[in-house]
Chain A
Amino acid sequence: MWSPEYESMSRQRLEDLQLKRLKATVERVYQHVPFYREKMKKQGIKPEDLQSLSDLKYFPFTTKDDLRENYPFGLFAVGMDDVVRIHASSGTTGRMTVVGYTKNDINIWSEVMARSISSAGGGPRDRIQVSYGYGLFTGGLGVHYGAELLGAMVVPVSGGNTKRQIQVMQDFGITILACTPSYALYMAETAAEMGVDLRTLPLKIGIFGAEPWTEQMRREIETKMGIKAYDIYGLSEIIGPGVAIECQEQNGLHINEDHFLTEIIDPQSGEVLPYGEKGELVFTTLTKEAFPLIRYRTRDLSLLYPEACVCGRTFARMHRILGRTDDMLIIRGVNVFPSQIESVLLENGDVSPHYQLVVDRKDNLDDLEVWVEVSEAMFASEVRKLEQLNKNIKQKIESTLGINVRVKLVEPKTIQRSEGKAKRVIDRRELYQN
């Protein structure tokens, strides 16, 4: 355990600490962020109304839309001079979701990530290959800083160039691999093609996240790589990777509750649900300075179990993600909303675009095909023009999403409609299990 004084503290002491930190956070955003102040005023509530942790339910939620409307820095609670880092993720309609960190925020992030690697069995003598992307995406740098704080040897390979990844793993004596689970599977396959048996290497631990995966995938990765694979959870809005991770038991992800207060709500009514019931994960940051969030709706479905764990950690566990409340897809680690495709088609002059996203996993890589019904306005009798149309749509979608797609032009009414509403997504990957 990296920080036993926190990770195994009694629930009572933890709750006292959470309340103290929560009060300070609420007070701070009320003072420094007009958005929160106005929202609380509208709701007729003040920071001093928060007397116990359960009073949090009277405070308003924060949504991804709120983040977008306050683009880029509107929700920051410190002066820009105190911000030392910016990260961002793609949003629903082109605008990025921007987050900021003070020096202290980076320290907290490193702390929760060091705990996470430690929870997966890593320590100062390990050699970590970070194959998450580095850049605006939080994956790469998040794991990187945590591993350095832990005292491990970090190899910041970032994503891509899979053969080199295998080379590095083999030649540098890598013991821990951090990447998305689908990329891990792809690496295993590439290694096999190269004649490298990963099971004979020093590699023993995998820290995988940034996309949903199944128990079956875990077993497959563990068998092919000869490792134990751990599910890690995080989102840039809250801090990045390190919000929660499994321990050796691989039975639920311990949430770093001294930094992140967690609620499960009914996504329809917004009501807080008791432990053990499935609903939407809602986080409130307790210590973040630059970008604190009050009751942020993640749209991720899960459930919480607070029972003590045999590993000794007292932090409550969340179930691996059970689904989404919206139609967001994660394709090759990138968040994709069907509405992004729609806006591309609208820009292309299609007045009421009918389209469908067909997602599959081929050779362990996510594959996105966009079917577009050809309307009269788009149609031409020349093959050349239709091919140009196809290419235009493809390029625009690719520059919007940042991932490769195939565009297929189809006849009207090809796309399945249920109760008049088109089914926008066919996901054949079956990533969520209940």
Chain B
Amino acid sequence: MKVKQISVFLENKSGRLAKVTRILGDNRINIRALSIADTTDYGILRLIVSEPAKALSVLKAEGFTVRETEVIAVEVPDQPGGLAGVLEEIQAKGVNIEYMYAFVGKSLENAIVIFRVEEIDQAIALLKNTQVKLLPEERVYSL
């Protein structure tokens, strides 16, 4: 149930994001979802891509500081209150969320949200048999 996210360290300099996406594009890697956390000096780019292992190696080869991070992908009912319901359940199980971001919209009946949580294995176990629907990784990469 664990999904591999590619995290890239980016300095706040013009053209860095364009460079990363160009490298991925040239290697025919498709971006499924992304988010950027930014601070004054730097940003952290988080990506869900079609081929995480390949993305990791091509970005490394281009000199980026890049890491694989384990996250979970949750199906969220695409209706008012859908995300609130999921978050309430996660909270009820005592799982701490580090950060989260939504999938780029696709014509699916449900929305997909990526969560980075503390203690991921424990979190997966806790969320089993709840209303929170986790997506298997192969499905996420190919969405």
> A residues bordering B, Cβ < 8 Å?
373-376, 379-384, 386-387, 408-414
Q: Mark B112-124, 1 if CB is under 8 A from A, else 0.
A: 0000100000000
In the bound complex, CA of A376 to CA of B67 (Å): 7
Q: Which of B99-143 contact A (CB under 8 A)?
A: 99, 116
Q: Mark B29-52, 1 if CB is under 8 A from A, else 0.
A: 000000001010110101000000
With A384-B98, A410-B11 already in contact, the answer to whether A379 and B67 are too (CB < 8 A) is yes
> Chain B residues near A379 (CB, 8 Å)?
7, 9, 65-67
**Interface residues on chain B, number (Cβ under 8 Å):** 21
A375, A380, A411, A412: which has the most chain B beta carbons within 10 Å?
A: A411
> Chain A residues near B66 (CB, 8 Å)?
376, 379
In the bound complex, CA of A384 to CA of B44 (Å): 11
Distance in Å: Cβ of A369 to nearest Cβ of chain B: 11
Q: Is the CB of B37 within 8 A of A383?
A: yes
In the bound complex, CA of A417 to CA of B5 (Å): 32
Q: Is the CB of B98 within 8 A of A412?
A: no
Q: Is the CB of B67 within 8 A of A381?
A: yes
Residue ID in chain A nearest B44 by CB atoms: A381
Q: Is the CB of B41 within 8 A of A374?
A: no
In the bound complex, CA of A375 to CA of B63 (Å): 10
B72 CB within 8 Å of chain A: no
Residue ID in chain A nearest B7 by CB atoms: A381
Task: Count A-B pairs with CB separation below 8 Å.
Answer: 58
Q: Can you name 9 A-B residue pairings with CB atoms under 8 Å? A: A374-B65, A375-B65, A376-B66, A379-B65, A383-B44, A386-B39, A408-B41, A411-B16, A411-B42
> Chain A residues near B5 (CB, 8 Å)?
381
Q: Is the CB of B46 within 8 A of A386?
A: no
B73 CB within 8 Å of chain A: no
User: Beyond A379-B67, A386-B39, A386-B44: 14 further Cβ-contacts under 8 Å?
Assistant: A373-B65, A374-B9, A374-B42, A374-B65, A379-B9, A379-B66, A380-B67, A381-B44, A381-B67, A381-B98, A382-B37, A409-B42, A411-B9, A414-B11
Distance in Å: Cβ of B49 to nearest Cβ of chain A: 14
B76 CB within 8 Å of chain A: no
Q: Is the CB of A381 within 8 A of B65?
A: no
6 closest cross-chain pairs (CB), A and B:
A381-B7, A381-B69, A411-B11, A383-B37, A374-B65, A374-B9
> Chain B residues near A387 (CB, 8 Å)?
39
Residue ID in chain A nearest B5 by CB atoms: A381
Residue ID in chain A nearest B16 by CB atoms: A411
With A379-B9, A381-B5 already in contact, the answer to whether A386 and B42 are too (CB < 8 A) is yes
Distance in Å: Cβ of B92 to nearest Cβ of chain A: 23
> Chain B residues near A384 (CB, 8 Å)?
98
Q: Mark B61-99, 1 if CB is under 8 A from A, else 0.
A: 001111101000000000000000000000000000011
Residue ID in chain B nearest A383 by CB atoms: B37
B10 CB within 8 Å of chain A: yes
In the bound complex, CA of A380 to CA of B9 (Å): 9
> Chain B residues near A411 (CB, 8 Å)?
9-11, 16, 42, 63-65
Which among A382, A386, A413 is the interface contact of B63 at CB below 8 angstroms? A413
A373, A381, A387, A409: which has the most chain B beta carbons within 10 Å?
A: A381
> Chain A residues near B116 (CB, 8 Å)?
381-382
Distance in Å: Cβ of A375 to nearest Cβ of chain B: 7
Q: Is the CB of A381 within 8 A of B42?
A: no
In the bound complex, CA of A379 to CA of B98 (Å): 15
Residue ID in chain B nearest A384 by CB atoms: B98
In the bound complex, CA of A411 to CA of B7 (Å): 13
In the bound complex, CA of A380 to CA of B16 (Å): 18
> Chain A residues near B7 (CB, 8 Å)?
379-381
In the bound complex, CA of A413 to CA of B44 (Å): 17
> Chain B residues near A383 (CB, 8 Å)?
37, 39, 44
> Chain B residues near A381 (CB, 8 Å)?
5, 7, 44, 46, 67, 69, 98-99, 116
In the bound complex, CA of A375 to CA of B66 (Å): 9
Q: Is the CB of B65 within 8 A of A376?
A: yes
Q: Is the CB of A382 within 8 A of B99?
A: yes
Residue ID in chain A nearest B118 by CB atoms: A382
A382, A386, A408, A410: which has the most chain B beta carbons within 10 Å?
A: A382
In the bound complex, CA of A408 to CA of B9 (Å): 13
> Chain B residues near A408 (CB, 8 Å)?
41
Distance in Å: Cβ of A355 to nearest Cβ of chain B: 14
In the bound complex, CA of A376 to CA of B64 (Å): 9
Q: Which of B11-31 contact A (CB under 8 A)?
A: 11, 16
In the bound complex, CA of A413 to CA of B19 (Å): 15
> Chain B residues near A382 (CB, 8 Å)?
37, 44, 98-99, 116
Residue ID in chain A nearest B116 by CB atoms: A381
In the bound complex, CA of A381 to CA of B65 (Å): 11
> Chain A residues near B39 (CB, 8 Å)?
383, 386-387
Distance in Å: Cβ of A21 to nearest Cβ of chain B: 57
